[in-house]
Amino acid sequence: MMNQQHNRHLARLAPLAAAIALFGSACGSTTTASSPADTVPATDVNTSTPSVSSEPAAGPETNDDAAEPATSSPPAPCGEFGPIPAASQITSDLTVDLIGDGVADDQVITYLDGVYKLRSIRNGVISEVEVPEVGVSSIRALGVGDAGEISAGNEVIVRTGGGASAAEIGIFGHDADGCVFQFTLNGEDLEMYVGATIGTSSGMFCDDGIIAEWYYELDDDGTYFGSSAAYFESSTGDFTYVPASDDFSEGLALEDLSPAELDCFGFGL
Ligand SMILES: [Ca+2]
Ligand SMILES: [Ca+2]
């Protein structure tokens, strides 16, 4: 099935319940948790508390790295990030649970510093990504939930832009080192839209292990046509169709349409 990104004709979410049921079985055969084996330094995939050892590393580590600033901050597997510049405009600042241990002790901040950026502090690890193409809108982290079941912990649902009539939604997760990244859909930008204009309407749903979207358009005869589809994280950081979840319908009455809203872990736009 073609992935037509923007022009996907999504409609009723009626088949979503079935999709979720299917998803359950699709999920049973989850692919192996492939870890992005990039430039992994000598750190373990350590989700426990960053132990800036109080005891000296009993070894010949007396190798003076002169460039090392004499701070006692935790290790920085994602790079060095200073304080957010005072002149930048903070557009959201949430205290959330990114690890997924039930305790909201992590932080997600979105801000404008020339470009929009999303910074997360997860288990003490700071990381940041730029969010391009925001349009006339701004970006704002909306909340977290376990939308992708391969990536550990909770994902961040973010309003990544949009215009007057629709908000664009993106999803951000964390890799094995705790560094934030933006999810993709079949390897391309994941952009979902929530909103309505005269003649069009679109919405988005998310819950544990699944996201879905729908889109309708007014037809010549006054009815609506459109389609819907559900997605799951099929490989690290990438969503794909839940098998047989995409649906096309036409001849719909206005009251048949799923609402043009974000229905996502209980938080809205
Ligand atoms: Ca936590
Ligand atoms: Ca997850």
- Which pLDDT score is estimated for 154? 98
The domain containing residue 198 runs over which residues?
89-264
Q: Is residue 172 part of a domain?
A: yes
Q: Is residue 143 part of a domain?
A: yes
Reported for 94-98, long-range contacts at CB under 8 A and 24+ positions apart, including other chains, are 94/141, 94/143, 94/144, 96/143, 96/144, 96/154, 96/156, 97/144, 97/153, 97/154, 98/122, 98/123, 98/144, 98/153, 98/154, 98/156, 98/174
Q: Is residue 217 part of a domain?
A: yes
Question: What share of the chain has pLDDT > 70, as a percent?
Answer: 72
Q: Is residue 31 part of a domain?
A: no
- Reported as a single tens digit per residue, the pLDDT across 96-143 is 999 999 999 999 999 999 999 999 999 999 999 999 888 778 899 999
Instruction: Identify the CA nearest to 199 among candidates 222, 214, 217.
Output: 217
How many folded domains does the chain comprise?
Answer: 1
Q: Is residue 221 part of a domain?
A: yes
Q: How far is the CA of 156 from the centre of ligand 1 (A)?
A: 13
Instruction: Identify the CA nearest to 196 among candidates 262, 256, 138, 263.
Output: 262
Q: How far is the CA of 213 from the centre of ligand 2 (A)?
A: 19
Q: Is residue 2 part of a domain?
A: no
Q: How far is the CA of 127 from the centre of ligand 2 (A)?
A: 17
Q: Is residue 16 part of a domain?
A: no
Instruction: Identify the CA nearest to 122 among candidates 96, 92, 159.
Output: 96
Q: How far is the CA of 45 from the centre of ligand 1 (A)?
A: 17
Q: How far is the CA of 32 from the centre of ligand 2 (A)?
A: 15
- Which pLDDT score is estimated for 73? 60
Instruction: Identify the CA nearest to 75 among candidates 57, 93, 59.
Output: 57
- Reported as a single tens digit per residue, the pLDDT across 19-68 is 444 444 444 433 333 344 444 444 444 444 444 444 444 444 444 554 55
Q: Is residue 29 part of a domain?
A: no
